């Protein structure tokens, strides 16, 4: 919409460059019998509804209330996550790292966008973008400040760069004042960013 | 390769900017690119490693300006062209000029969920005993091929310690170039911030990478 009559919007037959490019490729793939358009819809529905940080939050909440589960999660995260029914693409080999009062963990993929899909869903734009990929391994405290989070100078910090097919999940610290809370209530406190290590779990209300 | 993807430790990209409102996709074409990429990979022409290499082979000035789904689309177009499925002329003309090749591998809708749930594990039987154990002191090699590698530039020729061992996994340096899976032992190696970033480093920082055995030597 660059011309004087942009108020009326684009004519229906004019697509922006990216839309047109994607549509052209999709049309050819479908016409050639290489892609089933119904399969595309199922893929999109799956990533929109079956995976996401609510899955990871359930894992974290269970680890908070069940020490035996936490131990299994630490020993073999792939199996422990599968106990809750989560797994699959981009979560074939999972590793959980546990924050404590003295040690904070952060995950990154400096080389592309590796991310634990089954427990966190698709990565946010900032996770895939150059500022985060450049800065996390060198200045994770600066990254935390970008998120408005201050980590005390005494806390050790480890950044896990996902250079192979291992996918990392941070288990944040359990907020104070949540003794006796149900797993479901605790899961509400577990943010996506806290499971990347770019934030903390929410404080108990 | 020393491509635009190798971003760890680079300066000048500015702060991380979280989005206050964060839709899963930012344009209607983005989920189509994601789905086309996954569906096309089921055709069996290329591996995940080859597709990663195609993305990092995008010229740096284009790569750094592109959104992530633009990177994915550019690489998908190039992969389909390399493997003879969709030519540039077909993309531009908008009509097929030759029949599809792997039509027998076309992913049907009713197999999508099972495919995503199965994933693609990369662990393989070990070809030999592991050379290193947890606690071993190692050094990464000055390994910087023009071809695909998953050893980031910032972690070359650095002293580290093995903190975990993960069995043998498909070796991307081979697999990306159709030289076979060539499995090697995979380790998590931890470095101090000072060894990576010098005298200005955060003294409380350590960084880990996952490194295949051919990236490492004992020290």
Instruction: Please indicate whether residue A198 is annotated as part of the active site.
Output: no
Minimal CA–CA distance to B36: which of A188, A24, A125, A100?
A24
CB contact under 8 A, A39 and B111: yes
CB contact under 8 A, A24 and B26: no
Answer yes or no: is pLDDT of A89 > 60. Answer: yes
CB contact under 8 A, A47 and B24: yes
CB contact under 8 A, A121 and B154: no
For residues A58-80, give the mean pLDDT.
98
Judging contacts by C-beta atoms under 8 Å, the chain A residues touching residue B38 are: 43
- Contact with chain B for residue A153, Cβ under 8 A: yes
Query: Quick one: pLDDT band at residue A7, thresholds 50, 70, 90?
Result: very low
- Residue A13 confidence (pLDDT): 62
In whole angstroms, give the CA distance from residue B7 to residue A78.
Answer: 28
Q: What is the pLDDT of residues B8-22, one digit of tens each?
A: 999 999 999 999 999
Q: What is the pLDDT of residues A192-203, one digit of tens each?
A: 999 999 999 999
For residues B199-211, give the mean pLDDT.
97
Q: Which residue bears the tokens 């991307």?
A: B172
In whole angstroms, give the CA distance from residue A103 to residue A158.
Answer: 8
Q: How far is CA A174 from CA A54, A198, B72, B131, B152, in A?
A: 16, 15, 37, 39, 33
**What pTM did the predictor assign?**
0.95
Residue of A17, A20, A26, A29 to mutate for B, most B C-beta atoms under 10 A: A29
Q: Which residue bears the tokens 């069995």?
A: B167
Q: What is the ipTM of this complex?
A: 0.98
Pairing of strands B137-140, B216-218: antiparallel
Judging contacts by C-beta atoms under 8 Å, the chain A residues touching residue B116 are: 43, 46, 50, 88-89
For residues B89-95, give the mean pLDDT.
94
Catalytic residue among A6, A100, A112, A194: A112
Q: What is the pLDDT of residues B46-59, one digit of tens each?
A: 999 999 999 999 99
Residue of A82, A138, A146 to mutate for B, most B C-beta atoms under 10 A: A138
For residues B109-122, give the mean pLDDT.
95
**Closest chain B C-alpha to A156 CA, distance in angstroms:** 5
For residues B210-219, give the mean pLDDT.
98
Instruction: Please indicate whether residue A194 is annotated as part of the active site.
Output: no
- Residues ≥6 apart with Cβ < 8 Å to A23: A15, B29, B32
Mean pLDDT for chain B overall: 97
Judging contacts by C-beta atoms under 8 Å, the chain A residues touching residue B56 are: 111-112
Judging contacts by C-beta atoms under 8 Å, the chain A residues touching residue B55 are: 112
- Residue A15 confidence (pLDDT): 81
Answer yes or no: is pLDDT of A1 > 60. Answer: no
% of chain A exceeding 70 in pLDDT: 94
- Contact with chain A for residue B179, Cβ under 8 A: no
For residues A145-149, give the mean pLDDT.
97
CB environment A137-159: b (16+ within 10 A), e (fewer): bbbbbebbebbebebeeeeebbb
For residues A42-51, give the mean pLDDT.
96
Q: What angle do CA B84, B90, B93 make, to 5 degrees?
A: 175
Residue of A nearest to B51 (CA): A112
For residues B214-219, give the mean pLDDT.
98
Please report the residues numbered 58 through 87 in chain B whose beta carbons come closer than 8 angstroms to any beta carbon of chain A: 64, 67-68, 70, 73, 76-77, 80, 85-86
Residue A160: φ, ψ to 5°: -105, 110
Q: What is the pLDDT of residues B147-158, one digit of tens each?
A: 999 999 999 999
Catalytic residue among A109, A162, A194, A198: A109
Catalytic residue among A6, A100, A114, A162: A114
Residue of B nearest to A17 (CA): B29
More confident residue, A197 or A9: A197
Answer yes or no: is pLDDT of A2 > 70. Answer: no
Q: Is A37 exposed, middle or buried (0-12, 13-18, 19+ CB in 10 A)?
A: middle
3-state secondary structure of A117: helix
């Amino acid at each position: 919409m660059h011309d004087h009559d942009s108020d009326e919007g684009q004519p229906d037959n004019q697509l922006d460059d990216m839309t047109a490019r994607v549509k052209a490729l999709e049309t050819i793939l479908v016409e050639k019998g290489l892609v089933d358009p119904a399969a595309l819809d199922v893929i999109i529905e799956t990533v929109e509804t079956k995976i996401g940080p609510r899955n990871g939050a359930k894992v974290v909440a269970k680890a908070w209330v069940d020490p035996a589960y936490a131990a299994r999660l630490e020993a073999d995260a792939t199996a422990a996550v599968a106990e809750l029914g989560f797994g699959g693409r981009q979560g074939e080999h999972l590793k959980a790292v546990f924050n404590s009062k003295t040690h904070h963990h952060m995950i990154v993929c400096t080389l592309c966008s590796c991310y634990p899909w089954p427990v966190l869903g698709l990565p946010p734009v900032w996770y895939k973008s150059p500022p985060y990929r450049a800065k996390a391994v060198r200045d994770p405290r600066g990254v935390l400040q970008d998120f408005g989070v201050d980590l005390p100078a005494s806390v050790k910090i480890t950044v896990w760069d996902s250079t192979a097919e291992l996918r990392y999940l941070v288990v944040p610290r359990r907020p104070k004042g949540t003794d006796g809370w149900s797993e479901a209530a605790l899961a509400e406190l577990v943010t996506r960013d806290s499971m990347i290590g770019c934030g903390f779990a929410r404080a108990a209300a | 390769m020393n491509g635009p993807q190798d971003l760890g430790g680079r300066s000048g990209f500015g702060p991380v900017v979280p989005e206050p409102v964060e839709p899963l996709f930012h344009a209607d074409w983005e989920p189509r690119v994601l789905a086309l990429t996954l569906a096309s990979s089921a055709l069996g022409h290329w591996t995940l490693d080859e597709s990663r290499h195609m993305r990092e082979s995008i010229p740096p000035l284009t790569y750094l300006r592109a959104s992530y789904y633009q990177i994915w689309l550019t690489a998908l177009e190039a992969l389909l062209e390399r493997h003879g499925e969709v030519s540039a002329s077909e993309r531009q003309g908008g009509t097929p000029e030759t029949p599809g090749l792997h039509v027998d591998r076309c992913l049907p809708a009713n197999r999508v969920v099972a495919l995503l749930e199965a994933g693609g594990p990369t662990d393989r039987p070990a070809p030999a005993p592991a050379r290193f154990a947890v606690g071993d002191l190692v050094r990464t090699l000055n390994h910087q091929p023009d071809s695909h590698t998953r050893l980031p530039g910032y972690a070359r020729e650095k002293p580290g310690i093995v903190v975990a061992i993960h069995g043998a996994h498909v070796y991307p340096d081979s697999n990306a170039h159709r030289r076979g899976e060539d499995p090697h032992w995979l380790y998590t190696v931890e470095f101090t911030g000072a060894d990576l970033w010098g005298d200005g480093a955060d003294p409380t920082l350590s960084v880990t990478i996952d490194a295949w055995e051919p990236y490492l030597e004992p020290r």
